[in-house]
Amino acid sequence: MPENTKSATKVRLYDAFAASGKALASGKRLELLELLAQGERSVDALAKAAGLNLTTASAHLQVLKQAGFVATRREGVRIHYRLAGDDVAQLFALLRKVAENHQAAVPAARDAYLGEHGAAEVSHDELRVRVAAGEAVVLDVRAVEEYRAGHIPTAVSIPVEELAERIDELPEDTEIVVYCRDEYCVLAYEAVSLLTGLGRRAVRLTDGMLEWRLSQMPVDAADLR
């Protein structure tokens, strides 16, 4: 192959790689990937959860679909989106971690969003040991539809906005381990703060459902407690 032809084909190859990068160059599209990492959702549900109007949400989803990051399923007139594969979830998680490690603005933005709650944390392995020993109850504070799509085995579902009213559903003398979508999800921090403020022993899982899945940990679904 002539050198100029080889160079041109390499450019086309790297331009194809770059198209994927361009699809990720939007905070709102990354937020949509975060939501889809929890499970399949309709366009309407995604728009509401991401704080977007329907037209804007649809446009962002089309960009992600063209890049091959999401797939669709039609149910009547409603379109449902899902991640195209676990590798997309892995890419999303890795992108955020690389940005945190190498982009100076990220840690400050993370702390401004999550705050300095100082919540105690437990790892995946610690959680499984404590649950097996009957020393902890697992609390999922995500939206109900996210819980139904997949949750940590034995986890109790109480969305964070309902927690204050439903706290009596949790045992008073057992440690509560809280988790939400992923390690950058503020809901778990808010729940731990609320629980400890009401006198309960509560700690946060080091990350959330995204990392739990990617670690090949067991997942239950469609079992609303």
List the catalytic residues. 180
Cα 61 to chain centroid distance, Å, stands at: 17
Beta strand residue intervals within 44-107, DSSP E: 70-75, 78-83
Per DSSP bridges, beta strands 121-122 and 202-205 are parallel
d(CA 84, CA 88): 7
Axis crossing angle, helix 54-66 with helix 3-23, rounded to the nearest 10: 150
Nearest to 117 by CA among 210, 203, 207: 203
CB-side exposure of 192: number of CA atoms within 13 Å? 25
Q: Which amino acid is at 65?
A: K
